[in-house]
Amino acid sequence: MRRRLLIFAIALAWLAACGGQSSGPLNPAAPIAGEEPGVKVWPNNVNELPEPPVVRAVNGIARMDLQANLNPANGMPSFSYKGQHGVTPTLRVNPGETIVVNIVNDLPLGPGDKYWVNLHFHGFGSSPMPPGDDVLGMVARQGESLHYVVHVPANQQPGLYWYHTHIHGHVNFQVGEAGMSGAIVVNGLDKHYPALANMRERVIVMRDIGISKTLGPQVTMDGMTMDPIRPKAINSNPCGPDIGLTPELNGAYRPVITIAPGEKQFFRVINSTGHKTLKLAVDGTELELIAIDGYALDTYPGSPATRKEPYAIIPPAGRAEFVVTGPKSPIAKFRTECYDSGIGGDRDPNLILASIVHPKGHDAGQRSSDPGPLTVGAPLPDNYYTRPLPPPKVKRTVVFSEDNVHFFINHKIFSPNAPPMYVVHVGTVEEWHILNTSQEVHAFHIHQIHFVVKAIDGKKLVHPYWADTQIIPHRQADGKPGTLDLLMDFLDPRIKGMFVFHCHILDHEDHGMMAKIEAI
């Protein structure tokens, strides 16, 4: 505990010394083809929420070169972009374009596979075959490089996605604690909601940086090394502090977000933390939710185009896109409220993430011009997700469980050498009934596809929605497991090959809660 407190204190001191920037300056050097400068310094406040550099496609190809190395500011692995540590650009692409990423692994030789790297393109409906979104076979050891070519489908839904490393056994360390992640935006949502074109947009990557577990020897399993699990304990205080981690927005600690009273801004938020469930709210105003995990709410036939909520709950790896109306108060908070993950779960306390302030010199009685209501304009791209689904061909029951050390799917620990847990047929829909028998929530995620959330804890949803990550409720007080009912869409013929599904609470994944699936 002393070491964890010391690490936390050092992190806070370093943040203060750097003016709130936790991963080095975000201003890149001279832009290259397809890149736009990051960090627009607005005149109202130098502590304004930073914006990472943006890489767009040139002649249909968005190219990005990354190095994996140690960040000298904190000694943790990070991506470097154009020589700047901890900088991960936002990729902005149109449907039908191609993402090309080159990664050079310049991390030092270390224990086992702790410093190997690769990438997962989270939420994309793209092939799991190399050189695409293949997390099982594509790996760069120290001194090696990887070349990714990911084709964005011409009918990919416009919205928010992301990329991150996916080395099993160390995903929580590399992504959750070191922050090796970045945003991907597929353009076109403003065509479906024309009012968005007149709003300021905020792409926000929420990270929780630092060391959150007691350091100790690594666990070896099935030829792999794994980082030690956080100590298990009864979560008698779910709103208590989660010691050792520092919440950041785009690499900044408690930045300022300038919004005039009545002004509407478009927030696009990625929860790239290792285990924190966000419950996002803005003091004095509601959120108008329009998309979950990259898919507009009305992608599912019959669902409303928007929904006003007091807060937005985002599991680890999830995304939410919503409109914020500037509150009347000259100072308000953008926060995550306390979320109870169960008596065996993690602490998710109330945290202030940013300050919402009026522009300097703004008259308190002044109101910003209204861009208009979020009415629907152009239809969404037509694909398997915008049409009514055929009846499921197969029904499966999937069990998530755990003991004091390992985490299981269908009572099995993940092994890279194991055959696929399920073989599914391309062109079909399946219904999965997911049970959580543990005393903490899990976060179900499957690569390559989205699924329809049909029911939670046996309660059928009035308006089902598409997602790629969804909280599985914990076991109830009467001993009944938490449940999810999902419609799994395997209709796309591009999604063929071997990929995985797992819990996206990352140390759960690292300690066995993952399984292979093969689409044939």
> What does the pLDDT look like over 87-143, one tens digit per residue?
899 999 999 999 999 999 999 997 789 999 999 999 999 999 999 999 999 999 999
Within 8 A by CB and 6+ apart from 466, the residues are 292, 293, 295, 299, 300, 385, 450, 451, 452, 453
Tokens of 188: 């076109």
Helix, strand, coil percentages (3-state) for the chain, rounded to 5, are 10, 40, 55
Within 8 A by CB and 6+ apart from 419, the residues are 516
Tokens of 514: 């993952």
What's the 3-state SS for 401-439?
EECCCCEEECCECCCCCCCCCEEECCCEEEEEEEEECCC
369 half-sphere exposure, CB direction, 13 A CA radius: 5
Cα(124)–Cα(157) distance, integer angstroms = 9
Which candidate, 278, 282, 186, 238, places its Cα nearest to that of 469? 278
Which candidate, 117, 179, 182, places its Cα nearest to that of 143? 117
Cα(518)–Cα(164) distance, integer angstroms = 22
Quickly state the pLDDT bin for 8 (edges 50, 70, 90): very low
**CB of 425 within 8 A of CB of 490?**
yes
Cα(448)–Cα(450) distance, integer angstroms = 7
Cα(137)–Cα(156) distance, integer angstroms = 25
Give 448's DSSP letter. Answer: S
Quickly state the pLDDT bin for 45 (edges 50, 70, 90): low
Hey, what domains does the chain have and what are their CATH numbers?
Answer: 2-187 (2.60.40.420), 206-357 (2.60.40.420), 394-519 (2.60.40.420)
Tokens of 271: 């929860």
Which candidate, 143, 97, 93, 145, places its Cα nearest to that of 119? 145
Cβ count near 416 (within 10 Å): 13
Quickly state the pLDDT bin for 477 (edges 50, 70, 90): confident
Instruction: Give the global pTM.
Output: 0.88
The tens digit of pLDDT for each residue in 283-316 reads 999 999 999 999 999 999 999 999 999 999 999 9
Query: What local confidence, expressed as pLDDT, does residue 412 receive?
Result: 96
Averaged pLDDT for residues 22-48: 43
Amino acid at 345: G
Query: What local confidence, expressed as pLDDT, does residue 233 receive?
Result: 55
Cα(141)–Cα(493) distance, integer angstroms = 32
Length of the chain as a residue count: 520
List, as one string, the DSSP characters of 306-340.
-EEES-EEE-TT-EEEEEEEPPSSSEEEEEE----
Cα(294)–Cα(95) distance, integer angstroms = 13
Query: What local confidence, expressed as pLDDT, does residue 149 receive?
Result: 97
Phi, psi of 47 (to 5 degrees): -95, 20
Which candidate, 335, 334, 288, places its Cα nearest to that of 310? 288
227 or 234, which is more confident? 227
Averaged pLDDT for residues 398-407: 92
Compute the C-alpha angle 189/191/192, nearest 5°.
70
Tokens of 158: 């416009």
Cα(149)–Cα(130) distance, integer angstroms = 8
Tokens of 397: 């029951």
Which candidate, 225, 230, 226, places its Cα nearest to that of 244? 230
**CB of 257 within 8 A of CB of 355?**
yes
The tens digit of pLDDT for each residue in 378-390 reads 999 988 899 999 9
Return left, alpha or beta for 285; rule: phi > 0 is left, psi -120 to 50 is alpha, else beta.
beta
Q: Is 82 helix (H, G, I), strand (E, B) or coil?
A: coil
Tokens of 380: 């969404």
User: Beta strand 90-93 with 159-164: parallel, antiparallel or unpaired?
Assistant: unpaired
Q: Is 21 helix (H, G, I), strand (E, B) or coil?
A: strand
Q: Is the dihedral of CA 453, 454, 458, 461 positive or negative?
A: positive
Query: What local confidence, expressed as pLDDT, does residue 27 receive?
Result: 30
Amino acid at 380: L
Which candidate, 311, 352, 346, 314, places its Cα nearest to that of 237? 346
The tens digit of pLDDT for each residue in 325-362 reads 999 998 899 999 999 999 888 889 999 999 999 998 66
Cα(446)–Cα(460) distance, integer angstroms = 21
Cα(68)–Cα(81) distance, integer angstroms = 9
Tell whether omega for the bond before 72 is within 30 degrees of 0, i.e. cis.
Answer: no
Greatest Cα-to-Cα distance within the chain, rounded to the nearest angstrom: 65
Query: What local confidence, expressed as pLDDT, does residue 503 receive?
Result: 98
Tokens of 490: 């395997």
**CB of 343 within 8 A of CB of 439?**
yes
Quickly state the pLDDT bin for 5 (edges 50, 70, 90): very low
Query: What local confidence, expressed as pLDDT, does residue 16 receive?
Result: 34
The tens digit of pLDDT for each residue in 204-225 reads 999 998 876 544 445 555 556 6
Query: What local confidence, expressed as pLDDT, does residue 222 receive?
Result: 56
Cα(202)–Cα(268) distance, integer angstroms = 6
Least confident segment among 27-31, 401-405, 513-517: 27-31
